[in-house]
Chain A
Amino acid sequence: MTRETIFNVVLALFLLALPFAAMAMGEPFYVSLATRMAILALAAVGLNLALGFGGLVSFGHAAFFGIGGYAAGILASHAFNAEPLLFAIPGSDQMPVIWIVAALAAGFAAFLIGAVSLRTSGVYFIMITLAFAQMFYYFAISWPAYGGEDGLSITMRNGFPGLNTAVPVTFFLICYALLMAALLLLWRIRDSRFGAALQAARQNEVRVAAIGIAPYRIRLFAFVLSGMITGVAGALFADLNRFVSPSMMSWHMSGELIVLIILGGAGRLFGPVAGAILFVLLEFLLGGITERWQLFLGLILLGVVLFARGGLIGLVAGKPRHG
């Protein structure tokens, strides 16, 4: 086993143990902290596929996160009020249904955004993804049917067949299981033919085209899948807070996801997990000391970018190995 694998296992076990330790200490609040870590990690796992593996610095993933959140909020509110959506489709308060809708809606948005923005690269790509996300953000603000600027409450956390999702640890385990499933998927993809083409296109687009693989299609597919994963995370986030608002789509959120990945290690399988754990811990610990905790986050980020380019994973496990 490589050092990276060992560290990955440690991270996975740490996150899993956290809520149980919290319960044992009689601090149930920490359970929701761990759940937050798992959900942000899942959102960042999605972004990592595009940003880390594909080198596509999307500054618009908050759009997918928010779309997932609104999918949960809108379906739940229709189910609660027993009002059908368009074309007499009923709402739903079942998580599996919500996740599928969230993934499809976010994937569709990612397809539209990606189809346009992947024709550009570099700074233009960053700016176009940002611009699209802001369009979704302002659309959510100006849509009174679902709360507009005030957001939309979810009266009761959505259910999962056979489980009581109102129990914090149960909900944590659902989020954790989805996180692990996404990591498993990304692990397979990373080492697959698709992953090889995607990572090669990041390293040298000209070369990839010269051997007969069109980078655009590879990237678009990665971008859509990336958006879908982040969308599911958004649905979970809405269920965690039992609330969804346009702020989930703001550029701060996009930035936060990028920061998570850089902290943890871009392009490393568990980079988003390490980043999310670190980020939520810092937010909690520093946030308890000062309201200006983001100043210190900024300093830490500066340190990582200057001295530890591979993020936390890079620091522990060294450079990535590509076989």
Chain B
Amino acid sequence: MAEPILDIRNLTKSFGALKATDDVSIDLRDGEIHALIGPNGAGKTTLMHQISGSLKPGSGQIRFLGEDIGHLGVAERARRGLGRTFQISSLTPEFSALRNVMLAVQARQGSSFRFFREVMSDTSLTEPAMAALERVGLADRARIPAAELSHGERRQLEIAIALALGSRAFLLDEPMAGMGQEGSRALTSFLDRLRGEAPILLVEHDMDAVFALADRVSVLVYGRVIASGRVEEIRNDPAVRTAYLGEPA
């Protein structure tokens, strides 16, 4: 079998006595959605931070596209193709939706040290940005400042930014959070198609979405992976049912 796109081995992170990530090993293979579920405080977001580089790992290894990226900073990991979205939307609020995405296109093209050409008339930035907005259904809101977008639209914009980065793997931290039913459904079918482009590590509380989308599921409790496998296996795993799905074994 081919080497996984993202391969995490024995990752550990402690905050004082608390083990937020406890010997976690998971991987992400081409074409799949790997969902990461677990109760609040299980360390899902901590793990996402460690993978994206905003938290330094305590110990363990993170390999991405065959290379060890554990020592790299956030920006360098993003340049190598790790596209993340945030649990709480993180955008440049004064910029329009379009300019938010254009910044990602610019980052992908690799040069921010250009001083004279006006970005708004630079079609090598505006066209790919517009295309990404169209894919997430935000094209008609392109000129609206991010601060004035609705909650759901901001989530969509986050995804458009990840798309525009041309990421080789997506780290999506609760993309459905706070979205209406309609929005969740639309996003579910969108992510379903997206996995063909690049695999997705998905942290999500919306179980309908997880069970509809995921190829594999890993369950994180107190920083530890207590179960990992295909959707049916997880659904029927007694330890998972007790710890997470809230049913007696």
Q: Which of B94, B96, B103, B116 is close to A188, meaning CB atoms less than 8 Å apart?
A: B116
A27 at the interface (CB under 8 A from B): no
Interface of A is mostly: helix
Known: A194-B112, A196-B102. A211 touches B95 (CB 8 A): no
A212 at the interface (CB under 8 A from B): yes
Known: A188-B115, A192-B116, A193-B111. A212 touches B96 (CB 8 A): no
Residue ID in chain A nearest B114 by CB atoms = A193
Residue ID in chain B nearest A215 by CB atoms = B75
Known: A196-B99, A200-B103. A212 touches B108 (CB 8 A): yes
Query: A322 contacts B91, CB within 8 Å?
Result: no
Size range of the chain A interface in the assembly:
20 to 34
**In whole angstroms, what is the CA distance A194 to B118 when docked?**
10
B151 at the interface (CB under 8 A from A): no
Query: B145 contacts A322, CB within 8 Å?
Result: yes
Query: A192 contacts B119, CB within 8 Å?
Result: yes
Contact segment of B33-41, B76-84, B207-215: B76-84
Query: A323 contacts B96, CB within 8 Å?
Result: yes
Contact with B along A254-294 (1 / 0, CB 8 A): 00000000000000000000000000000000000000000
Contact segment of A99-107, A108-116, A201-209, A237-245: A201-209
Contact with B along A195-224 (1 / 0, CB 8 A): 111011001101111111110001001000
Q: Which of B74, B79, B114, B161 is close to A194, meaning CB atoms less than 8 Å apart?
A: B114
Query: A204 contacts B73, CB within 8 Å?
Result: no
B10 at the interface (CB under 8 A from A): no
CB distance from B192 to the nearest CB of A (A): 24
Known: A193-B106, A197-B106. A211 touches B165 (CB 8 A): yes
Chain A residues whose CB sits within 8 angstroms of the CB of B113 once the complex forms: 193-194, 221
Q: Which of B54, B84, B93 is close to A203, meaning CB atoms less than 8 Å apart?
A: B93
Q: Which of B94, B104, B114, B120 is close to A211, meaning CB atoms less than 8 Å apart?
A: B104
Query: A206 contacts B76, CB within 8 Å?
Result: no
CB distance from A143 to the nearest CB of B (A): 36
A253 at the interface (CB under 8 A from B): no
Query: A191 contacts B119, CB within 8 Å?
Result: yes
**In whole angstroms, what is the CA distance A206 to B85 when docked?**
11
Chain B residues whose CB sits within 8 angstroms of the CB of A204 once the complex forms: 90-93
B42 at the interface (CB under 8 A from A): no
**In whole angstroms, what is the CA distance A320 to B115 when docked?**
20
Query: A208 contacts B115, CB within 8 Å?
Result: no
A189 at the interface (CB under 8 A from B): yes
CB distance from A298 to the nearest CB of B (A): 29
Chain B residues whose CB sits within 8 angstroms of the CB of A323 once the complex forms: 96, 98-99, 120, 143
**In whole angstroms, what is the CA distance A80 to B106 when docked?**
51
Query: B119 contacts A210, CB within 8 Å?
Result: no
B52 at the interface (CB under 8 A from A): yes
B107 at the interface (CB under 8 A from A): yes
A-B contact count (CB 8 A): 109
Known: A207-B91, A207-B92. A322 touches B119 (CB 8 A): no
Query: B115 contacts A210, CB within 8 Å?
Result: no
Chain A residues whose CB sits within 8 angstroms of the CB of B143 once the complex forms: 323
Query: B103 contacts A197, CB within 8 Å?
Result: yes
**In whole angstroms, what is the CA distance A323 to B91 when docked?**
16
Query: B73 contacts A209, CB within 8 Å?
Result: yes
A288-311 residues with Cβ-Cβ distance < 8 A to B are none
Query: A322 contacts B99, CB within 8 Å?
Result: yes
**In whole angstroms, what is the CA distance A113 to B106 when docked?**
29
Residue ID in chain B nearest A190 by CB atoms = B118
CB distance from B5 to the nearest CB of A (A): 17
Query: A213 contacts B90, CB within 8 Å?
Result: no
Residue ID in chain B nearest A267 by CB atoms = B94
Query: B75 contacts A213, CB within 8 Å?
Result: yes
**In whole angstroms, what is the CA distance A200 to B99 when docked?**
10
Query: B103 contacts A192, CB within 8 Å?
Result: no
Q: Which of A197, A210, A214 is close to B90, meaning CB atoms less than 8 Å apart?
A: A210
Residue ID in chain A nearest B125 by CB atoms = A193
Query: A189 contacts B115, CB within 8 Å?
Result: yes
Contact with A along B133-174 (1 / 0, CB 8 A): 000000000010100000000000000010001000000000
Contact with A along B59-93 (1 / 0, CB 8 A): 00000000000000111101100001010001111
Q: Which of A193, A203, A210 is close to B112, meaning CB atoms less than 8 Å apart?
A: A193
Query: A211 contacts B117, CB within 8 Å?
Result: no
Chain A residues whose CB sits within 8 angstroms of the CB of B165 once the complex forms: 211-212
CB distance from B33 to the nearest CB of A (A): 21
Q: Which of A192, A211, A218, A320 is close to B161, meaning CB atoms less than 8 Å apart?
A: A211
- A-B pairs with lowest CB-CB distance, top 10: A212-B78, A212-B79, A197-B112, A203-B92, A214-B75, A211-B107, A209-B74, A193-B114, A212-B107, A191-B118
A-B residue pairs in contact (CB < 8 Å), sample of 18:
A191-B118, A192-B114, A192-B115, A207-B90, A209-B54, A209-B75, A210-B52, A210-B54, A210-B75, A210-B84, A210-B86, A212-B75, A212-B76, A212-B108, A322-B94, A322-B145, A323-B99, A323-B120
